[in-house]
Amino acid sequence: MISINAFFHQASSTISYVVYETASREAMIIDSALDYTAHSGKLWTEFADKQIAFIHENNLHVTWILETHAHADHISAAHYLKTQLGGKLAAGAGVVHVQKTFVDFFDLSESHIPTDGRQFGHLFEDGDSFSLGNTEVTVLSTPGHTNDSVTYLIDGNAFVGDTLFMPDGGTARCDFPGGSAAVLFKSIEKLHQLADDTVLWMCHDYQPKGRALQYHCTVAQSRKNNIHIHTGTTCEAFVQLRESRDETLDIPRLLYPSVQLNISAGQLPPKAANGKRYIKQPISFTRGDVK
């Protein structure tokens, strides 16, 4: 038997999970976050420390710290959690492609951020499995939002990252490098083919129309009611809808700091000669009105 405990990071609308097997007390943490203030560059650990306190209070032993993908909207607490709790740090094998894309984009060096995934202790391929105590966890590759996205299946539960939102929230954008609406369609079809009563646990909820926080639904509910992709939706219709929506979206507020740290599993960049740490911020200049 497993227990699922959700933690809501309000600043980024992120839901992180501590999942543990009740018999063995072995636990895994999925998609945690550091607190960050962009205008000051201040990072702190209040949110992650709540999860650490929960781990200690319930006498849990963390064996896995997992990412569903390299997030673009919050900074991962994975490295910090590992230093405090131990456990294996893991992500999808596609993260090496994300690393190569953004090391080039930010004009970083391989010595600054290696692009072989070594920052993650383990890289999962589609269909891989591992154990949480005596319970098997299966990894599904579910790219489209990003090309490293994975879903973790355990005991009738699927932790889907940004592959799906709650039915009234639809789906995540696909216009990041390596993203593809057509690929996302296939990934969601894979999830919608799971058993009807499989519970889908979301990584984000933006509370459409101000409704109360929601972060899980069944496959049957998603397949029937998702506003972007449901029974009868064709790939062509979904791609047209998703790409037209993506054209209207600004980049995530924390994209640049998040990606630079998250492709290194939340490790901070090395100190410069003056002892300070820096992230890069690309700029563009447009004369006159910004269109």
pTM value is 0.96
pLDDT reported for residue 285: 82
Convert the pLDDT of each residue in 149-201 to its tens digit: 999 999 999 999 999 999 999 999 999 999 999 999 999 999 999 999 999 99
- pLDDT (0 to 100) of residue 291: 53
pLDDT score of 286: 81
What would the mean pLDDT of 55-72 be, rounded to a whole number? 98
What confidence score (pLDDT) does residue 69 get? 97
Q: What are phi and psi of 65, to 5 degrees?
A: -125, 115
Read off the pLDDT of residues 187-201 as tens digits, 9 standing for 90 and up.
999 999 999 999 999
Give me the helices (H) in the chain, please: 46-57, 78-85, 95-105, 181-192, 219-225, 235-246, 255-262
Residue tagged 């090309």 (tokens): 147
User: Please, what sign has the CA dihedral across residues 54, 55, 60, 64?
Assistant: positive
